[in-house]
Amino acid sequence: MRIFKRKGYYYLQHSFRKEGKVITRETYIGEKLPKDIKEIKERFLQKHVKSRLYKQLEQIRAGFQKDWNKTPESVKAEELKEIAIAFTYNTNAIEGSKITLAETRAILQEKIAPRKPLYDIKETEAHAKVFLATLQEKEELTEQLLLQWHREVFRETKKEIAGKYRDYRVHVGIHIPPDWQDIPILMKKLFDFYKENKSMNPVELAARIHYKFEFIHPFGDGNGRIGRLLMNHILWHKKYPILIIENKKKLAYYKALEKGEEKFVQYFLRTYLKANKKYL
Ordered by where they begin, the domains of the chain are 1-70 (no CATH), 73-279 (1.10.3290.10)
CA–CA separation, 224 and 252 (whole Å): 15
**pTM for this entry:** 0.84
User: What mean pLDDT comes out for the span 135-155?
Assistant: 94
Identified catalytic residue from 48, 150, 210, 217: 217
Q: Residue 271 carries which side chain, given as an amino acid letter?
A: T
Is the pLDDT at 17 greater than 70, yes or no?
A: no
pLDDT, greater one: 1 or 159: 159
Q: What pLDDT, on a 0 to 100 scale, did the predictor assign at position 231?
A: 98
User: What mean pLDDT comes out for the span 263-270?
Assistant: 94
User: What mean pLDDT comes out for the span 258-279?
Assistant: 95
Give yes or no: 217 in active site.
yes
- Please say whether the beta carbons of 226 and 258 come within 8 A: no
Is the pLDDT at 18 greater than 70, yes or no?
A: no
Is the pLDDT at 47 greater than 80, yes or no?
A: no
Q: What pLDDT, on a 0 to 100 scale, did the predictor assign at position 258?
A: 94
Q: What pLDDT, on a 0 to 100 scale, did the predictor assign at position 7?
A: 82
User: What mean pLDDT comes out for the span 110-124?
Assistant: 94
Q: What pLDDT, on a 0 to 100 scale, did the predictor assign at position 2?
A: 82
pLDDT confidence tier of residue 16, bands split at 50, 70 and 90: low
CA–CA separation, 57 and 280 (whole Å): 9
